Structures are given as structure tokens and as C-alpha cells.
Amino acid sequence: MSVLVSSETRVVFQGMTGTQGTFFADQAMAYGTRVVAGVTPGRGGTRHLHLPMYDRVADAVEATGADACAVFVPPANAADAIIEAVLARVPLVVCVTEGVPVLDMVRVRRVLEGSATCLLGPNTPGIIVPGQCKIGVMPGHIHTPGRIGIVSRASTLTYEVAAQTTAAGLGQSTVIGIGADPVHGLGFVDCLELLLADDRTEGVVLVGEIGGQEEEQAAQYLSRVSPSKPVIGVIAGISAPPGRRMGHAGAIIAGGIGDATSKLSALRDAGVILAESPARVAATMAAAL
């Protein structure tokens, strides 16, 4: 099994004719992902990267049977691009775009309610099932098929954990970046439900960071379900100076909620095994298994 995507997933790229869309669509195809089309208004009927281009997502879905959409569209237009994919009933939308206005994402969340679409992002590195499908900006070469699921808010630390689990011979079943923005699609709880139910996943790494309440919500969920699989946790930003403005829009600490101490305490109380440092995640997982 795999989570959300597989070797059969058919992907359409919104904004594929842009510099970033071109580069990462080409990288996805080189990895083996089944990219079937691109969408750029005004470019319908042409070809790019030897693939057909369409003016609308709905047209691309109808022609190719695409069931996933990668959004490489500038921030001002990203919400409209996501909504277009939702209205086209694309099962999975991965929005890599950083800097999408919060009010735009509030509008997206309203459209998502009751829809058939799962959204990852915005501001996500994407999702990868090693050896099968890569949607986003994750470097494919550090991943290898295996048994550890990774779900993360911190993009670069995701790559560190993936590289560690590869080096340790554990590999990854599915790696998911949920994005670091305050208003986004799938969260930790959604992804934990998927990974804990996946037969191929034998252990889960949760990579959190300061700000927001995602980790605390994950802790509440894990306390309720008491998973039989080990869950390893690590929080980025433990040494961040109090009151310092951080780079991620989601890294907001307010009202005594969202700091590293509260997150670590909540996860520990929920039975999560905390790695001593980001460099010890794979070793901690290997010991737990």
C-alpha cells in the first residue's frame, strides 16, 4: 500500500510553463511520476515538455483521467488555481506555492468543505512514495522504499529525516509535507490517520516546529487511539529566542500556546518517543522498532 499517491497516480501540473513548474515537472517525470498534462490559461492546444497543455483543469482531467494536481502558480493566483482543481473534483491537490494570502486560504477552506478533494499545502515540499511517485520539490535521490512514514511541517528537516532513515536502512513508505502556513489543507491528524492505517508503514516520524497548535492536536489524537506503531517526534525551533519573529507564517507563538516546551510535553504525554535531537531521529526509530 501507499498513502495518497502511488505509481498509478496521474498528475497534471498547473503553471507548468513557468520556470519552476517546468523544472519540477521535468524532475517528477525523471523520477518516474506519471505526469500527463499541464494547465496554463491561453496555452491550451500546445505542448510543453512533450505533454499536452490545457486552458482549464477540468479539460485536462476529462482528457487524461488525472487524479492529482500540482500547483506551481504565483501567490496571488494560487487560491484560484486550487479552487479550480477542487471544482474539477481532483482527488489530491499539492500546492507548493509559498506566500499565499491567509484570507485567500480561508476562501479555499470554505470551498474544500464537503468536496472530494484533499489539499496538501500551500507552502509544502509535497509528497513522495519512494520509487513510485513524487509531487513537489522533494529531492528524490535521498529517499528509498521502506517502512517509515514521515509527516512534517518543516521542509528542510523533512529531507534530513528522510536521508537518515535511508542511511539506517529503514527507508520510507510515504513522506508528506503538510505545509507551514497557518491556514492549509491536510494536517498532522489527517496524515497520522492515513499512515497508522497503512499496512506498509511500521513506524511514523512526526516533524513539528514551534508555532500553531498542530502538534498539540496530534498529541490529543494519539492519546485517544494509542497506536501500536511507534511514533517518533522532533520539534524544530527549541532554541529560538523568546519573542523572536520566525520565518514561517505558521510559526506564531501566542497566549502561551505553540512554544517548544508545550509541544514536547503534549507529545510526551501522548506516548510519542522524542528524539534527543534532529540528528538522532533514525537511531531513535530503529531502537523503538
- Annotated catalytic sites, by residue? 248
Cα 82 off chain centre by: 15
Phi, psi of 280 (to 5 degrees): -110, 10
- How close are the terminal C-alpha atoms of the chain, in Å? 20
Residue showing cell 497508522: 196
Count Cβ atoms below 10 Å from residue 287 Cβ, excluding itself.
11
The CA-based diameter of the chain, rounded to the nearest angstrom, is 56
